[in-house]
Structure 1
Amino acid sequence: MSLSDRIAANLPYLRRYARALTGSQKNGDAIVTATLEAALADDELKASLAGGRVPLYRAFNAVWSSACMEYEGAPVGASGLESAANLRLESITPRNRQALLLTTLEDFSPAQAADIMGLDSTEVEALVDEAVQEIDRESATSVLIIEDEPLISMQLEDLVTSLGHEICGTAATRTQAREVIAKRTPGLVLADIQLADGSSGIDAVDDILETGNVPVIFITAYPERLLTGDRPEPTYLVTKPFQERTVRAAISQALFFGSSNPIG
């Protein structure tokens, strides 16, 4: 496999990570582009990328570390979600967010995350613990679960309530999701893509987003349907079968960056 093919295979996931780290597809893609440009200009760096995901993410980290200060404070012209994200950046350090995402959303081991960040495993584990504690201080919110597999839906309900959130409804079809949001707008949505009656979780989410900005986490066995580059891609995408710690991290990040509706 050529170097370009190796990078291309990992690029959708690096872009996903960059979006989650910055809270913005535009900013995330800008740093990914800068990483690739740096590799083209440096033969040693370019050669190292043949080693797979860890060297690619390590190169990204070097660019991110030099650029992350640019994201402190809401930039002029930022959207509501981006402004909220930048305000929240003051309450959690970039390194904490990075360690959390690398070891959960990206499924790197603490040792691999340490290699990427230039730290040791103990430091990474400490950063993850701090990040979880800081993000979990967010206010509780109401959650809509759009999932057509009953056992998975119940598993997600248990996880969500264990984190202190409230279930405002569950839906197995787009129509059921519409019925829930007609009564109450959720503060967070967990959604599958392929639903029971053949309807689309993507369309159900679009219905919800017409009512306002709501953080959404897609949990699906078909991530390639969303990582196409043809339309705005979701920041929070968890692949089935999932680990509960991955969903928990995604929930924390989504509430960290997104506007949420408190329970009450």
Structure 2
Amino acid sequence: MSSNTTGGDLSGRIAGDLPYLRRYARALTGNQTTGDNYAAATLEAILQDRSIFDNSTRPKVALFRAFHMIWSTAGAPAGVSDELGDALEHAAMDHMANLTANTREALLLHTVEGFNFEEVGHIMKIEASEAENLVEIAVDEMQRSMAGRVMIIEDEAIIAMDIHSIVSDMGHEIIGIARTRTAAVEMGSKSRPDLILADIQLADNSSGIDAVNDLLGQFGDIPVIFITAFPERLLTGERPEPAFLISKPYAEDQVRSAVSQAMFFSSTETLKTA
């Protein structure tokens, strides 16, 4: 970007993509605060040096490329301090140490953020073929890493059964499908899940968000994936925001990627690790 581009021009170009950068950073680090710190550092770096925002490509690619300059410079993956990190975060960092370098970044960029392999390569400064190979490695490594119990909160039967099929084929146990907030809380209370996949708007006009909050109130840290036609209700910039958010209509590889990511960050004792 030219050095004489105004702050207002730049802000307008990237404003719509910021919620997705924050989502990506949270999923990558496993922590909202850490992810937001990286996103903020990216914006500060762009404001200080406009040349790192690549004006030759679309704004979202340029923004994520700038993020990766900060991320790689900091020596990704980021660690969590003993003072600030909880058990969930420390477990995630332990798991990350066993993964092939750069695979999670490529996987998230492609399957969750929807970048094609050429764009992933441009963001990560690698060839498109290498980006594709990293995604394949990530899928294999993360799907084999652990399995656990999954609860689905979804009122549309066809979607619920499709998610059930995808997740069970990955080797996870489905403890049940709940169509309402009340049913979800009752089901989760009887059999604590290792992962929750939830829609926002449920059959009786109750809220999947409320159901999830009820369960988290009982059990504490359980990874959650929201699959919804209304992502704007969650990507508000207000805390807390979900690390894993998939928009409907979804692709199978998006669900598989998010489930692998979420399980990867789980510290639940009942998870079976490879």
TM-score tier after normalising by the smaller chain length: over 0.9
Aligned residue for 1:222?
A: 230
State the secondary structure of the residue aligned to 1:214.
coil
Q: TM-score, normalised by structure 2?
A: 0.91
- CA–CA separation in structure 2 for the residues paired with 1:205 and 1:50: 39
Q: Normalising to structure 1: TM-score of the pair?
A: 0.94
Q: Secondary structure at the match of 2:221?
A: coil
Structure 2 residue identity aligned to 1:21 = L
Residues 21-59 of structure 1: CA distance to partner in whole angstroms, max 9, x if unpaired?
111111111111111111111132357398411111111
Q: Which stretches in structure 2 are left out of the alignment for 5+ residues?
A: 1-7
Distance in 2 (alpha carbons) for counterparts of 1:70 and 1:181: 33
Q: 1:143 aligns with which of 145, 150, 159?
A: 150
Supply the distance in 2 between the matched residues of 1:47 and 1:132 (Cα, whole angstroms).
29
Is contact 2:53–2:66 with CA below 8 Å preserved after alignment?
Answer: no
Give the match's secondary structure for 2:107.
helix
**Matched residues in 2 for 1:223 and 1:73: separation?**
28
Q: Is the 8 A contact 2:147 2:263 kept in 1?
A: no
- RMSD of equivalent CA atoms: 1.8
1:54 aligned residue (61, 68, 72): 61
Question: Is 1:19–1:29's contact at 8 Å kept on the other side of the alignment?
Answer: yes
Q: Please state if 1:243 is matched with 2:216.
A: no
- Matched AA of 1:131: A
Partner of 1:257: 265
CA distance in 2, matches of 1:61, 1:54: 11
Residues 226 and 118 of structure 1, relative CA distance in 2, 3 Å threshold: same
Shift of 1:73: 6.4
> After TM superposition, which residue ranges in structure 1, 4 or more long, deviate above 4 angstroms?
none
Sequence identity percentage: 50
In the alignment, the residues of structure 2 paired with residue 98 and residue 127 of structure 1 have an alpha-carbon distance, to the nearest angstrom, of: 9
Q: How does 1:37-186 map to 2 (within 5 A)?
A: 37-46=44-53, 48=55, 51-69=58-76, 71-72=78-79, 75-186=82-193
Q: Secondary structure at the match of 1:250?
A: helix
The corresponding residue for 1:234 is 242
Say if 1:166 and 1:46 are closer, same or farther in 2 by CA, change over 3 A: closer
1:233 aligned partner, one-letter code: E
How many residue pairs match? The answer is 263
Amino acid at match of 2:166: L
